[in-house]
Chain A
Amino acid sequence: MKKYENRLELLETMLRIRAFDEKVDELYAEGALHGTAHFYVGQEAVAVGVISALRDGDVITGTHRGHGHALAFGLDVKKMAAELLGKASGYCHGKGGSMHIADVSAGMLGANGIVAGSMGIVCGAAWAFKRRKEDRVAVCFFGDGAVQEGIFSESLNMAAVWSLPVVFVCENNQYAMSLSVERGFANSRISEKADGYGMPGVTVDGMELPEIMEVASEAVERARSGGGPSLIEANTYRYLGHSKSDANLYRTREEIKEWRESDPIGRFAARLEKSGDLEKGGLPEIEKKIYEEVEAAFQWAANEPEPEPGSALEDVYA
């Protein structure tokens, strides 16, 4: 997994996620991509902040909105681009696509197309680590919609009763597709549910990277040292639609604009300028470098070979 050496790398990774999903959005608009995808634009600080608190051996599970988790974990942009384009050299050799990018041997246990589908799976990885006395941690990313699924409750209860080394990270982006948290919950403060399961829960500003890093480090440390699971609710927002076909009928332009004004990349870049980690006015140059890297990855992927048709019949069984 990716080791974040300095604060600039955190910024670059957030930019890479944004550049990647903006590119994917653009390709859909051109009709150059098959299928669908869900964009992480706006939520970049959550994946980067949490994953930067991890170390080699730790594992994560992502969601259908999963490009950000994979890139923050250090998956290769080219192999991800190839998967989006359905190419044989993609992470899943063209069989998974956007919603199933995984690198199991590296510890990225997969994006998951089923809302809350990986919440039990993450408990299993953590259960194995505990049973084998390995000081590894498992992180589960999920959205506010997943909290409404039954397995959310089952998983948090199991993790707490067995004191499993799990960090549950709820990316509360305010909408489960079109359903706002206000319409989906009587009590929409998701972190408060933690108390009912007997674990600590905290709400954090999901647009503010240093705050996420702080609560994630605390939760990861607790898990690693045998203190059991935690629930982090990161308040965030997806700037783009739920997926490529969203007409945004359930929210206002003003609301989107308001959230964009607290952009996690802009805020973190300003901090870095202040601290001297980033040259004043240095952001556009870094942006250019990252956007070019992503562009090059998709160009490379576009020229990669298609999978053999017969490969569709392979890999059903090991």
Chain B
Amino acid sequence: MPNENGTAREITYREALREAMTLAMRNDDSVFLMGEDVGVYGGAFGVSRGMVEEFGEERVVDTPLSEAGFTGLGIGAALVGMKPIIEVQFSDFITHCMDQLVNQAAKLRYMFGGEAEVPFVLRTPGGAGTGAAAQHSQSLEAWFVHVPGLKVVMPSTPHDAKGLLLAALDDPNPVLFYEHKLLYNRKGDVPEEEYRVPIGEANVSREGEDVTIVSAGLVHHYALEAAESLADDGIEAEVLDLRTLSPMDHATVAGSVEKTGRLVVVEEDVKTAGWGAEVVSRIVEGESFYALDRAPARVAGADVPIPYNKNLEAHVRPSPEKVIEAVRSLVDERVGVYS
């Protein structure tokens, strides 16, 4: 597909991430990648495969199993002018890093009165669907949406993965970059050149008049699949890919909801206090509340840990079918019967 920059070709999400890191490291000697098994192993999901061969062990750094320690190290390196990319092998392990992310990275600039910058990127794969059970499948990104001082991005396509990672590396603030294990092999058109996808801008990935579906990450594709099925029945869904969870692009969501009058949020994290609650709250506490002609709905993970068994796992996760069901309930003319 040709684009504004010239050449694009189809590559995977994994390759797009690798390409962004490689371009950034070629251009800027202060960028480095650090994490568990990112060197010769190539990362647990192969994202950095081949990078140590190009950049050497000084810039693609295998760490001891010390998530808090090397997250802190990244923050300290950022304070003195480096641009770290810290990889946390599974996003569940981010629990080890909470002090460093919440009390340090997010706070240093503010509590030092604006006299410091922490240009720090932490990449980590979240999400379920791999049979890895409760400690390797969570979607904990909402925790960090709740922490001022952090930015949280969650790209769903190879194009956005590359563009958002390059934007995150330009950003003088700490950015948590959420990948998804089931997206790494997904292919899409990606320009060869450098480009940025601005942090904080949602994308309208499908236009429609009947209902707004807001999503991000892997489940954005579930929303798109659902929208295609619904179109067969004459329901035209507008699908938004938030791409950034914090700062949240409320204006784009509100604009779409004011057009359609109906809102469904599709998120993979558990429903209670998930980021979808924030999307809904901003709509119902604002002017766009009056544009709603149905109560908003959420399709989210069940409020349980992720189970191992394949059928059990599918039972608690969002799916295109669950999105279709939610939209159908919402557009049902009998007001109030949706669940």
Contact = CB atoms under 8 A, between A and B. Distances in A.
A55 B74 CA distance: 24
B69 A120 contact: yes
Given A124-B77, A125-B77, A125-B80, A114 B69 contact: no
Nearest to B104: A117
A34 to B, nearest CB: 15
A127 B82 CA distance: 10
Contact of B72 (A95, A120, A315): A120
Interface string A106-127: 0001101110011111111111
B113 interface: yes
Contact of A96 (B58, B113, B117): B113
A124 B34 CA distance: 11
Given A125-B79, A157-B64, A317-B149, A120 B71 contact: yes
A109 B113 contact: no
B110 A110 contact: no
Nearest to B106: A316
B73 interface: yes
A9 B172 CA distance: 39
A91 B113 contact: yes
B80 A128 contact: yes
A12 B123 CA distance: 48
Contacts of B103: 113-114, 117
Interface residues on B, range: 35 or more
B113 A131 contact: no
B76 A102 contact: no
Contacts of A125: 76-77, 79-80
Contacts of A103: 115
B100 A120 contact: yes
B309 interface: no
Contacts of B111: 92, 95-96, 100
A129 B76 CA distance: 11
B74 A124 contact: yes
Given A110-B108, A158-B66, A127 B113 contact: no
B230 interface: no
Nearest to B148: A316
Nearest to B149: A316
Interface in B98-119: 99-100, 103-104, 108-117
A160 B152 CA distance: 33
A161 interface: yes
Contacts of A104: 79, 112, 115-116
Contact of B172 (A150, A155, A161, A318): A318
Interface in A124-168: 124-129, 131, 138, 150-151, 154-155, 157-158, 161
Interface centre among B79, B112, B115, by most chain A C-beta atoms within 10 angstroms, is B112
B115 A120 contact: no
Contacts of B149: 316-317
Given A95-B111, A123-B69, A316-B110, A161 B64 contact: yes
Contacts of B79: 104, 109, 121, 124-125
A90 B113 contact: yes
Contact of A131 (B32, B172, B173): B32
Nearest to B171: A318
Nearest to A129: B80
Given A96-B112, A110-B116, A155-B66, 18 more contacts: A102-B115, A109-B79, A109-B80, A117-B104, A120-B71, A122-B76, A124-B73, A124-B80, A124-B84, A128-B76, A128-B81, A129-B80, A131-B58, A151-B68, A151-B72, A157-B69, A158-B64, A158-B66
What are the nearest 6 A-B pairs in CB distance?
A120-B72, A124-B76, A154-B69, A315-B114, A121-B76, A154-B66
Interface of A: 59, 90-96, 100, 102-105, 109-110, 112-114, 117-129, 131, 138, 150-151, 154-155, 157-158, 161, 314-318
19 contacts: A59-B80, A91-B112, A95-B113, A100-B111, A102-B112, A102-B116, A110-B108, A114-B104, A120-B69, A120-B76, A124-B84, A127-B82, A131-B32, A131-B58, A151-B69, A158-B64, A158-B69, A158-B73, A318-B117
